[in-house]
């Protein structure tokens, strides 16, 4: 049976349909869930897609983390189900405390929208279980606040626990330690700034993002209790 992957829509989310399309393409049953839903029954994995949740007012993700759906997302994360945040979704997961650190404004003062070369730095997360460590992927970034930062103790822990999942080959935004994506300690919650759904077909210039979605679907399938 196809795993059900919830794709959460906040007011201002704009990547939910692309994300759901790719998930369906790689064998999942995507389910669009509005942020006002307060339960996620029957859901095997969650994606918080990109966009500008609540207009990015106050800070990206600052208001979204209080949406009614977030306790249900947190409960699934604590139950070990895969939870993935893409771009704005990554910012929401950081604000919600499900991932460490924060995304500050890009160091070079510019919004960046371009293909980025990424290196897989951890191959045991829901997004990377089908990939080899060190593999390079071309996946676009599209953000103004994607400059990952964390205090020194957090960075030390991320490195020691092998929790940097993706690194930029050519850092486009000033991120600490070239970090493009991280995971939580239990390794089931992953956030990344690049948009795998926008690299899901050769027609889009790259299909490297597709394998991340395939990984997620495989992880969602295996996270279902027998």
Partner 1 sequence: MTFDVVVDISLRPGISDPEGATIERSCGALGFDGISGVAVGKTVRFALEATDEAAARAEVEDLCARFLTNPVIETAEVRFSETATAGAA
Rounded to the nearest 5°, which phi and psi values hold at 107? -65, -35
CB-count burial class (<10 Å; 0-12, 13-18, 19+) for 71: middle
Instruction: For partner 1, give the closer residue by CB, 92 or 213.
Output: 92
Give Cα 119 distance to the centre of its chain. Answer: 15
Q: How far is the CB of 25 from partner 1 (least distance, A)?
A: 35
SS3 of residue 20 by DSSP: helix
> Residue numbers of the site for partner 1 (CB under 8 A)?
58-59, 62, 66, 94-95, 101-102, 104-107, 109-110, 147, 149-151, 174
Q: How far is the CB of 203 from partner 1 (least distance, A)?
A: 34
Instruction: For partner 1, give the closer residue by CB, 106 or 206.
Output: 106
Residue 130 structure tokens = 């089908």
Distance (Å, whole) CA 195 – CA 165: 14
Angle at 29 between CA 69 and CA 74, to 5 degrees: 25
Q: Is 197 a catalytic residue?
A: yes
Q: Is 87 a catalytic residue?
A: yes
Instruction: For partner 1, give the closer residue by CB, 58 or 133.
Output: 58
Distance (Å, whole) CA 197 – CA 210: 7
Instruction: For partner 1, give the closer residue by CB, 15 or 102.
Output: 102
Distance (Å, whole) CA 89 – CA 206: 22
Q: How far is the CB of 118 from partner 1 (least distance, A)?
A: 21
Q: How far is the CB of 109 from partner 1 (least distance, A)?
A: 4
Residue 104 structure tokens = 């500050």
Q: How far is the CB of 147 from partner 1 (least distance, A)?
A: 6
Is 118:168 a contact under the CB 8 Å cutoff? yes
Instruction: For partner 1, give the closer residue by CB, 60 or 196.
Output: 60
Rounded to the nearest 5°, which phi and psi values hold at 93? -65, -35
- Among the listed residues 16, 29, 95, 197, the single catalytic one is 197
Is 121:188 a contact under the CB 8 Å cutoff? no
Active site residues: 87, 195, 197
């Amino acid at each position: 049976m196809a795993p059900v992957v919830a794709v959460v829509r906040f007011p201002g989310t704009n990547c939910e349909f692309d994300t759901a399309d790719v998930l369906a393409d790689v064998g999942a049953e995507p389910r669009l869930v509005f942020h006002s839903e307060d339960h996620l029954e029957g859901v095997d994995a969650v994606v918080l897609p990109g966009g500008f949740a609540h207009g990015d007012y106050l800070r990206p993700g600052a208001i979204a983390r209080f949406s009614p759906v977030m306790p249900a997302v947190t409960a699934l994360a604590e139950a070990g189900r895969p939870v993935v945040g893409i771009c704005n979704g990554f910012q929401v997961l950081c604000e919600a405390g499900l991932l460490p650190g924060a995304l500050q404004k890009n160091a070079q003062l510019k919004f960046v929208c371009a293909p980025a070369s990424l290196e897989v730095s951890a191959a045991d997360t829901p997004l990377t279980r089908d990939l080899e460590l060190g593999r390079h992927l071309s996946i676009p970034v599209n953000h103004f606040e994607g400059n990952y930062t964390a205090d020194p103790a957090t960075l030390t822990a991320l490195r020691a626990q092998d929790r940097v999942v993706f690194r930029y080959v050519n850092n486009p935004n000033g991120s600490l330690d070239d970090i493009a994506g991280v995971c939580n300690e239990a390794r089931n919650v992953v956030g990344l700034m690049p948009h795998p759904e926008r690299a899901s077909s050769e027609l889009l210039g790259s299909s490297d993002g597709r394998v991340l979605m395939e990984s997620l679907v495989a992880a969602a399938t295996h996270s279902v209790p027998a």
